[in-house]
Structure 1
């Protein structure tokens, strides 16, 4: 499958990227940053304001949007990246589930690695929802190591 991976002008493709994320997110994707950012209400429930929150995040200067597109310029995968000092944080990475097994995630990760090398990045970081087992396997196959575990204790409001 021929695809194109590129940095996006966030203003031109932001709405499409947000809609793609909404269409392809699952509850297993939720991790502590989704809760802390307000994208999710809990480990099992997304916020009804998800689109507005993600859209505002994409407007931030340090946010990089990478897309995978098919030959018709349809977004079939996205990554949202931030650079913090000499570290690159993969905030989000989602590929159309119906296209999994076609090495799109690998191509996207290779693009991210090349971008990181160009930026003289020291290490890549990412987090993943506790039940996102397929993603965990993918990350480990791509050289990532588990370095921490995050816990939550919800208090009454």
Structure 2
């Protein structure tokens, strides 16, 4: 297994089919445009390749600081390719993100997950994550 940072447009093109399994409404063009802006805001997209060099899992993360979580890793995106779920890839990549966050001086890792994603909630709870709040959203 190999973990790499997605940096270039070509890298993003290679991982897009997996990303689209989580972000189903986004086009390649939108993803490309947003990715450039997100990188400017310290977003990192990490890719896990299996032994056959297939992209099997992605994590989109950023280090943030605020009054309630102090310095922390925020996980914006975490997805394992549907054909490769329940093989431990998500656990491997999330563990890598946790280690990376510790090395960067973060005190916690934070994420949100939509209500219908019950399997994802079970996964996070198995990995030691607690449900601590609701996330609210309002379109502007």
Please, what TM-score do these two structures have when normalized by structure 1? Answer: 0.73
How does 1:1-157 map onto structure 2 within 5 Å?
3-22=1-20, 24-25=21-22, 47=25, 49-59=26-36, 60-61=39-40, 62-85=42-65, 86-151=71-136
Structure 2 SS opposite 1:67? strand
Superposition CA RMSD, Å = 2.2
Structure 2 counterpart of 1:35: none
Q: How many residues align?
A: 132
My pick for the range that moved more, 91-100 or 9-18, is 9-18
Gaps of at least 5 residues in structure 1 are 26-38, 40-45
Please, what TM-score do these two structures have when normalized by structure 2? Answer: 0.81
**Is this contact kept in 1: 2:18–2:80, CA < 8 A?**
no
Cα displacement (A) at 1:77: 0.9
